[in-house]
Amino acid sequence: MRTGIAPTAVAIRKHVRTLAGDIGERNVWHASALAAAEDYIRREWRSLGYEVGAQRYQANGVDCANLEVVIPGASRPGEIILVGAHYDSVQGSPGADDNASAVAALLEIARRLRGARPARSLRLVAFVNEEPPFFFVGEMGSGVYARAARGRGDDIRVMFSLEMLGCYSDVPGSQSYPPFLRHFYPDRGDFIAFVSNLRSRRALKSAVTAFRAVSDFPCESAALPAWVPGVSWSDQLSFWRERYAGVMVTDTAFYRYRYYHTALDTPEKVDCARLARLTEGLAQAFLRLADRGV
């Protein structure tokens, strides 16, 4: 099923350049930039006709917000597919791939799904404060959100964490892995990875099946113990802690991207053409999951 306006590399490039170029480093130590990123996301979603909700809280004395838009389910609205990406950047980095690339995809997924009427509800959430020192502690934006969701009894069937989506390479040897995985996966970093913990492997399988049904973008998948380096290093961890299924969608971060968490994570390094193709596939896959279930 096709709905809305297809995302384009031009739109993706604009989002990445605004967030990682014009705004730049955005975290509680650059509070005005963090607020500017929040305002940008809100304006973009409102321009598409969405009502934008905000979950506000204080972190390090700074007023922060998780932002959310909802595409209501037509027949099973209480069952939720949640897609999220964090919009803050680590200290010392403008955060183009990490994580403006994923926020750009999230914004364009919203455009792609505008006017859709899936069976189940789709929630799109821009999370604040994923990066250290908030990662793994109480003020992590996705942790604040997931705890509130569990407290309300929200029926989140699966949470997808979009984490670094913009780095690709066709060069042999451009992809690395933890030692025990390198013999089972490609040595070229030309694919997107779907990664889950062991408890979420059913949701992982459903997600990969849905994505491959609608897109020819190369993808790989793995359900792994959460202690494997990188597997739990994003917002899906907050949902695993609340006993929700969670899947990270990623270009594999430091296993591929040499500029991870550095000042050189700048907009021109994001492959906007491939990211636009990926975004198209993800939008269709999430809609398919909302219609057919996980």
What pLDDT is recorded for position 179?
84
pLDDT in tens, 142-154: 999 999 999 999 9
Strand order of the β-sheet with 155-163 is: 53-59, 62-71, 120-127, 76-86, 155-163, 246-250, 192-196, 219-223
How many helices (H) and strands (E) the chain has is answered by 7, 8
pLDDT in tens, 90-142: 999 999 999 999 999 999 999 999 999 999 999 999 999 999 999 888 899 99
DSSP 27: S
What pLDDT is recorded for position 2?
43
Is the peptide bond prior to 133 cis by the omega test (within 30 degrees of 0)? Answer: yes
Q: What six digits make up the tokens of 200?
A: 């979420």
Scored b (16 or more CB within 10 A) or e, 74-92 reads eebeebbbbbbbbbbbbee
- Which of 80, 66, 251, 38 lies closest to 140, judged by CA? 66
Tell me if 225 sits within 8 A of 144, measured CB to CB: no
Give CA torsion, residues 139, 81, 270, 40, to 10 deg. Answer: -60
pLDDT in tens, 19-61: 999 999 999 999 999 999 999 999 999 999 999 999 999 999 9
Find the distance separating the first CA and the last CA of the chain, reported in whole Å.
Answer: 17
Q: Are strands 246-250 and 192-196 parallel, antiparallel or unpaired?
A: antiparallel
pTM: 0.95
- Which of 281, 291, 294 lies closest to 6, judged by CA? 281
CA–CA separation, 286 vs 48, rounded Å? Answer: 19
Q: Which domains does the chain have, with CATH numbers?
A: 9-292 (3.40.630.10)
Q: What six digits make up the tokens of 235?
A: 């917002």
CA–CA separation, 17 vs 11, rounded Å? Answer: 10
Q: Is pLDDT at 229 greater than 50 in this prediction?
A: yes
Tell me if 293 sits within 8 A of 120, measured CB to CB: yes
Question: What is the CB-side half-sphere exposure of residue 34 using CA atoms within 13 A?
Answer: 25
pLDDT, the chain, mean: 95
Main-chain dihedrals φ then ψ at residue 69, nearest 5 degrees = -125, 150
Angle at Cα 164 formed by Cα 198 and Cα 45, nearest 5°?
Answer: 105
pLDDT in tens, 168-222: 999 999 999 998 898 899 999 999 999 999 999 999 999 999 999 999 999 999 9
What pLDDT is recorded for position 273?
95
